[in-house]
Structure formats: C-alpha cells, structure tokens
Amino acid sequence: MAEKDWLTFRFMTLDDVEAVGELERLAFPLPWPVDAFVNELTINQNAKYLLAIADEKVVAYCGVWVILDEAHITNIAVHPDYRGRKIGERLMRQMMGLARLFGAERMTLEVRPSNTTARNLYGKLGFIAAGVRKGYYSDNNEDAIIMWVELNEDEQE
C-alpha cells in the first residue's frame, strides 16, 4: 500500500463533533466544548473544518475561518497515538489549499512559544512570526506567537 493511501480527508459534519470533542480534550489543556463545534458547523458561515481519517476513525482535525481574503486557523489537533506520521503537515497543506479555493490569499494562526513541534511545522509550511499576543493562553498566561503565510497555489499538496 502506498504511504498516502492510509489517510483520507473530508469535511467535518455534525456526526463528527463528539469524536472531534474527544480529540480536543486529548490535545489541549483548555479544550473547546462540543457545543462550540456545533456552532461552528451550523452558525458560523466563515468556518470550515477538515478531518483526517485513518483506521476508520478521526485522527486529526483542523478548523479555519475564511473572511474575505484572509484565513485564520482556529485549531488543529492530531490524536496522540498518531503523532509523528506527518498527519498534521498533510492536514495543514489540505487546509491551505482549501482556504485558497475559498478566496484566501494569506493565512494566520497563533501558537504557543513552548510548542516547538507546531512552530517547526508552521515554519516548514512557510509561516513567519509577525507578532506576539501577550498572555493569550488563559491556562498559564503564556504568550502567543502570531504567524502568517502567503497562500501560493504552487505550495499546496
């Protein structure tokens, strides 16, 4: 089997919110409640969520808000049992391409300075640090690094 055949991507639906909520709880000290994902899918017309599926289950997800020509990554998480397999990178590349299709020319996100794995991934994808949000994370008052990337059509997977 080819390396990429084991992983598929699709849009999140309401049927997926419990699985995404569980993944959120595994990944973050202050997880979004399941109701937040329901609202994202039913109320927020700017929100798009992609899932990575392996072994017939949700192993990663990524959310973005596309507003005019900008895309803002709201969250991304990979199940702890599936980390280190480039799923986050592939999912981000998929999301970058999707955001471009929806008219975004650039993308932004916030990341903890302590999250070197994520920062390295974003740097690999072309994101550049452009500022700091002081005390952004309420669980420990950690700052957030604001990162931006231009979405060029030739850079997506």
Enumerate residues 6+ apart whose C-beta is below 8 A from 89. 121, 124, 125
- Residue of 40, 49, 61, 122 with catalytic role: 122
Distance, in Å, from the CA atom of 32 to the CA atom of 76, rounded to the nearest integer, reads 12
Distance, in Å, from the CA atom of 53 to the CA atom of 70, rounded to the nearest integer, reads 27
- Residue of 70, 110, 142, 155 with catalytic role: 110
Q: How far from 22 is each of 11, 60, 89, 94, CA to CA, in Å? A: 17, 11, 21, 22
122 is catalytic: yes
110 is catalytic: yes
Query: Which residues are part of the catalytic machinery?
Result: 110, 122
